[in-house]
Amino acid sequence: MSAPAILALDFDGVLCDGMREYFETAWRAYRRLRPSVAPEPPRGLFDSFARLRPLVESGWEMPLVIHAVLAGASEAELLSGWRPEAWRRDIGVPRDTIAAELDSVRDEWITADEQGWLDHHRFYPGVIERVRRVAGGPTRVAVVTTKEGRFALKLLRRQGVRLDPDRVVGKEARRPKREILKDLVARHAAGDAARLWFVEDRLKTLEDAARDPALDGARLFLAEWGYNTPEERETARRDERIIPLSLARFARDFPVWLEPGS
Ligand SMILES: [Mg+2]
């Protein structure tokens, strides 16, 4: 099949680079969890955070990345085995509380300064044009993200991309991406997983989808321009289910995505 019936796209690290926003939001949320911390982040923390971003599956882990770095953990140690639950216990706050702090920081920021919030994000070159082109054709586009869907919708709308809210499935769905993908296959591809293509920058999420027999035949692409490490990209190259995808290929027509070599 040279074009999918459904193209499922992750948001952060595939369409949008919101690194400055993630850090600012995570820092503000962390300060609420640890009010004794200094108001300004220490020098170098942003760069560490950016290098460690591939660890993060869901937003609630971001303040914990900050916590771990400030607690003195080395980047190498964190990259070789990220244990968000252990760091969460160390900070002593329930996961839902951290997630709620993060969303309320975002909501308050948007209310106070929407333009500033939007300006802390940038879309990767060419992705908006590509999504518009796909959305104008026979392939359905869906966005599958671990952030609240309404935040992703707001950012896409600003770019003039108007997807139905039911095509943007976020954290509010409270289901793993693999389950959301299966639901998309059932609803829009008559149960044929081979008609689904999924672009994601987090290797573990793709591996999780690859292990699910109900997703046999689905094309799983690792977005090499997103938040993943050279080691993860190398692992993806050796995995027969996962197809590494460059940003240049993403911008081109579907058959090119399947051509050998990168
Ligand atoms: Mg991502």
CA of 36 to the centre of ligand 1 (A): 31
Let me know whether 200 and 212 are in one domain: yes
Q: Count up the domains in the chain and report the number.
A: 2
Tokens of 54: 């591939």
Task: Mark whether 226 and 239 lie in a shared domain.
Answer: yes
The Å distance, Cα 116 to ligand 1 centre, comes to: 22
Question: How far is 160 from 34, CA to CA, in rounded Å?
Answer: 39
Residues 11 and 77 in one domain: no
Q: Which domain holds residue 58?
A: 19-119
224 with 107, same domain: the answer is no
Tell me if 117 sits within 8 A of 141, measured CB to CB: no
C-alpha of residue 70 to centroid of ligand 1, in Å: 24
- Please report whether residue 91 resides in a domain: yes
CATH of the domain at 231: 3.40.50.1000
Q: Which parts of the chain register pLDDT below 70?
A: 1, 262
- pTM of the full predicted structure? 0.93
Domain-embedded: residue 262: no
- Amino acid 174: pLDDT: 84
Residues 115 and 159 in one domain: no
Paired with 221 in beta bridges are 199, 243
| Last residue in a domain, options 119, 145, 169 | 119
- The rounded Å distance from CA 260 to ligand 1 centre is 24
Q: What is the pLDDT of residue 22?
A: 96
Structure tokens at 211: 């292990």
65 located within any domain = yes
Are 137 and 69 within 8 A, CB to CB? no
pLDDT at 173: 82
Give CA–CA dist 16/22, Å, rounded. Answer: 11
From 119, 144, 168, the end of a domain falls on 119
**Same-domain status, 166 and 67:** no
State the Cα–Cα distance between residues 168 and 206, nearest whole angstrom: 19
**pLDDT at residue 1, as a whole number:** 62
> Which residue is it, tokens 């997630």?
99
Residues having C-beta closer than 5 Å to ion ligand 1: 10, 12-13, 201
DSSP lists the bridge partners of residue 220 as 198, 242
If asked whether residues 133 and 112 sit together in one domain, one would say no
- By DSSP bridging, strand 16-17 and strand 122-123 are antiparallel
Distance 146 CA to ligand 1 centre (A): 8
Q: For residue 107, how far is its CA from the centre of ligand 1 (angstroms)?
A: 21
The CA 19 to ligand 1 mean position distance, Å, reads 11
Q: How many angstroms separate the alpha carbon of residue 8 from the centre of ligand 1?
A: 12
Tracing tokens 């809210």 back to the chain, one arrives at: 165
Q: Which helix (H) or strand (E) holds 122?
A: strand 122-123
Whether residues 149 and 220 share a domain: the answer is yes
